[in-house]
Structure 1
């Protein structure tokens, strides 16, 4: 089972940045860190590192520390053997993921996941669930997002229509900015729906009160004074 990574410790150590997106994603991130990693794939620590990197804006070194801290069994043995003689300060997160996948993810599975990413859309997911899936699958098809413009285009195109339409003008922004805007638009849509629902309930309540009042008014008028 993957070790749990304490979100509070990352914040107190200055790893996390207190953005609205981070606060909204805390519960999802914490649950993902506790996911079981089987030795058949050993991909969960890397997925967790990817997601936390997005949500907490970690540095390259911090991404590696987060993911490798959770490795166990064959994956831990591989890492301990491979890192000997490496300058970890120059090892990039992208290089680690590539080597990790080539070691533990079979070619057929990589091809399947690459195809899944090419067809990925938000569908019934929240924005956080969508970006988590996006990050998990994107490393199996890096050629689809090898520039900032291509990554933003793929992410925005896969969003639900109302979000995609709202974010098109921001396709040249940094990816973190696009993600944060998607969260904010989603929250506004949620608040709008909740406001309409409450207004509808109030309107229906007023209608029934008025109807019931009119029902007894003639009787009251006949028996007045």
Structure 2
């Protein structure tokens, strides 16, 4: 229905012709529904464009459906990119037109759903135009993304250097003393031999 009304606006179509054109533009189940409605009237020409729109919305968008969409709109928060959030925001806002009647209300609701790290920056400017608010949020998102990317590269470089240093330390040969033994490590065999010789000289030799 929104698409059809946009076409009528471009064509500057008068109300007395809209119903006939809608009959041509509707497809599938919507067209079948219109034909069933017209069949209930002896003279279908008495159906006005306003009556048709009311019946159409009541049939395809019942009150319970609108209520669910309104609740979804109020719970909406950014879970991915600003672009995706904006797309969902505009899609659902038409079901809550009375609740975000003006541009300022839309801006405050849009701000509220932004991720905290973006909202904390753009809220201070007090935007009253949704397009400008979205543009500012996109700039902040890009800046944060570039900053996070730089930090990850820095951490990756530090980690690589640490691993290289550790591997070098593990493979570096140990220094040896003058007798060929490793510094800091006792030569068990030499120590045992010297102890045995000293014992023999003291207790066994005459």
TM-score, with length taken from structure 1: 0.53
Q: How does 1:44-193 map to 2 (within 5 A)?
A: 61=10, 72-75=27-30, 101-102=57-58, 104-122=60-78, 124-193=79-148
Instruction: Say whether residues 1:201 and 2:156 are aligned partners.
Output: yes
Q: Which residue of 2 aligns with 1:32?
A: none
Distance in 1 between residues matched to 2:54 and 2:139, nearest whole Å: 32
Q: Which gives a bigger RCO, structure 1 or 2 (Cα 8 Å, sep 6+)?
A: 1
1:66-107 Cα distance to aligned partner (Å, 9 max, x none): xx9x963244686xxxxxx99xxxxxxxxxx99974562111
Distance in 1 between residues matched to 2:56 and 2:132, nearest whole Å: 28
More displaced stretch, 200-209 vs 210-219:
210-219
1:128 and 1:72, CA in 2 relative to 1: closer, same or farther beyond 3 A? Answer: farther
Larger radius of gyration: 2
1:176 and 1:99, CA in 2 relative to 1: closer, same or farther beyond 3 A? Answer: farther
1:155-202 Cα distance to aligned partner (Å, 9 max, x none): 001111111111112333421111122122112222222221111111
More displaced stretch, 128-137 vs 209-218:
209-218
Query: Is the Cα contact below 8 Å between 1:110 and 1:140 reproduced in 2?
Result: yes
Q: Which residue of 1 aligns with 2:188?
A: none
Structure 1 unaligned blocks of 5 or more: 1-41, 50-59, 63-67, 79-84, 87-96
Query: Is the Cα contact below 8 Å between 1:117 and 1:141 reproduced in 2?
Result: yes
Distance in 1 between residues matched to 2:139 and 2:26, nearest whole Å: 34
1:193 and 1:215, CA in 2 relative to 1: closer, same or farther beyond 3 A? Answer: same
Distance in 2 between residues matched to 1:98 and 1:125, nearest whole Å: 36
Q: Which residue of 2 aligns with 1:24?
A: none
Distance in 1 between residues matched to 2:139 and 2:122, nearest whole Å: 11
Q: Alpha-carbon deviation of 1:149?
A: 0.9
Aligned residues between the structures: 145
Structure 2 unaligned blocks of 5 or more: 12-21, 35-47, 177-206
